[in-house]
Amino acid sequence: MGNGVSRPNMRQLVVGVEEGVRLLDGTTRTYINFDNASSTPFLRPVLDGINEFAPMYASVGRGSGYKSHVSTEAFEAARATIGQFVGASRDTHTVILGKNTTEALNKLVHCLRLSDDDVILTSLMEHHSNELPWRRAATVHHIGLREDGSLDVAHLEELLATFGSRVRLVSITGASNVTGFVNPICDIAEIVHAAGALFAVDAAQLAPHRAIDVGTPEDPCRIDFLAYTGHKMYAPLGIGALVALKDAVQATEPDLVGGGTVDFVTSDDVVWSELPAREEAGTPNVVGAIGWARAIEALTEIGMAHVASHEAELTEALLGAIRERPEIEVFGDPDPARAGDRLGVVTFRIAGVSHRLAAAILGYEGGIGVRTGLFCAHPYVQELLGMTHKASHELATRLEGGERPSIPGLIRASFGIYNTREEVDMLIAMLDRIRCGEYEGDYLCDPSTGAFNPSGVDWWESSSEAWSYRSCT
């Protein structure tokens, strides 16, 4: 149950959970946010921490004033908290702070100084952030999937045997943002290290929901590089980290150069700073780091085991209800009995109903926010949907030619620590209305965006008090 934070108090920790939104029928309803896998709302301790620090804010680093010293100490303390949350040691690890997980993984690509002959193994379930950066620097091969969409670890072993010493690194997601599958990180790490390769984990989805330990340099289960971010764990936007073994990050020129990255500059030479300063160009996001550290402290007090069990209860309830509704198809493991083995991410489609239309109805008529589309994991969703390679490339060609064809996609509901069983029941009730055609609006599709909006609703765009739904591919 954690260290003193009980379930009835969970919603009290979160900013904005009781905010009302206007619905299509003109009534107001408390907003239900089931899009936590994208970004979570702030925790109150985060805002409290930022407000407490704000009067003492000053530029960090070399300032001689009192506030500068306080800000520098607060920033470095936040860095330590961000590293300790995933088991990093100051002696063996470096914590490079940046904007988000995407930037962290791009920075890792740069630090490794890869060549075209190097092989990087990722999987077909990756978020684009753990796919596209590697394509620019090395030869990428994909670990396949099993029939249910989970990672095929046996195929990883085959690829390691095939490419041998050419494999520099294996980089996989800790948990899927589409299906909620949690990958067997320790098992994979042992396999990768036994083959002589390095191991990286995109922990953007895993870190907010499960305890993580990157391990020691001698640990066969170690994670050599881990990227994660604050905006998915109840902290401000614009802060993320690359946690890396110091010995595994090559001493190279930083990818971004300028202030903060150097010890000394002459008219024709430069002495670069040590890590992490060398890779943190410009003025850092001090406030974001402090807010993230406060979020980590709050989650630690709640207890990651409690976070997991609470979200598993909600997942079990939703999967159980969907099982009784054959018109709704779940992608990933649909068994409610195994809800505790996955994240609280449930992705589905409703037979005969566009994913974008369903999401629009949920927003306009239920006050429920979900995510719809391909979830920045296009190859994975295409695999889940059974799209052929030919069909995917034909669609890409049409998009490149300026057409706006209907892009396939799914609906995703993702849970946070503050969501309730009552909110799940309201989602199920709305899904029943959608699958039975009992919604109120006359929805029209905007061909330029693919989004659905009810016709004749002027107040939605014009009212400063209204909110609007925007679907994306």
Q: Residue 422, exposed/middle/buried by CB under 10 A (0-12, 13-18, 19+)?
A: exposed
Q: What is the pLDDT of residue 154?
A: 98
CATH 3.40.309.10 for domain 7-30+303-462: no
pLDDT of 471 reads 34
**Are the C-beta atoms of 245 and 215 separated by less than 8 Å?**
no
Q: Please, are residues 33 and 416 in contact by the beta-carbon 8 Å criterion?
A: yes
Provide the pLDDT for residue 8. Answer: 46
Contacts of 308 (CB under 8 A, 6+ apart): 209, 210, 340
**DSSP letters spanning 26-73:** S-EEE-EE-BTTT-PPPBHHHHHHHHHHGGG----SS--SHHHHHHHH
| Max Cα-Cα span within the chain | 73
The CA distance from 473 to 350, in Å, is 18
**Cβ-Cβ contacts under 8 Å for 358 (sequence gap 6 or more):** 350, 372, 411, 431, 434
Cβ–Cβ under 8 Å, residues 30 and 19: yes
Fold for the domain defined by 47-300: Aspartate Aminotransferase; domain 2 (3.40.640)
What average pLDDT values come out for the chain (473 residues) when binned by 10 residues?
A: 52 94 95 98 96 95 90 97 98 97 97 95 98 97 97 98 98 98 98 98 98 98 98 96 93 90 96 95 96 98 96 98 98 98 98 97 98 97 95 90 84 98 98 97 89 77 40 32
CA–chain centroid gap for 158, Å, is 29
**Contact residues for 85 (Cβ-Cβ < 8 A; gap 6+):** 207, 212, 296, 300
Find out whether 208 and 299 touch, Cβ atoms under 8 Å: yes
Cβ atoms of 348 and 329 closer than 8 Å: yes
Distance CA 450, CA 464 (A): 24
Please list the residues that pair with 139 across neighbouring strands.
119
CA distance 249 to 226: 12
Domain residue ranges in the chain: 7-30+303-462, 47-300
pLDDT of res. 4? 43
Helix, strand, or coil (residue 413)? strand
Task: Of 85, 7, 3, give the one whose Cα is nearest residue 311.
Answer: 7
Cα 427 off chain centre by: 23
Among 183, 208, 184, which residue's Cα sits nearest to residue 414? 208
The two tokens of residue 280 are: 């943190």
pTM comes to 0.94
Amino acid identity, position 52: E
CA–CA dist 176, 377 (Å, integer) = 9
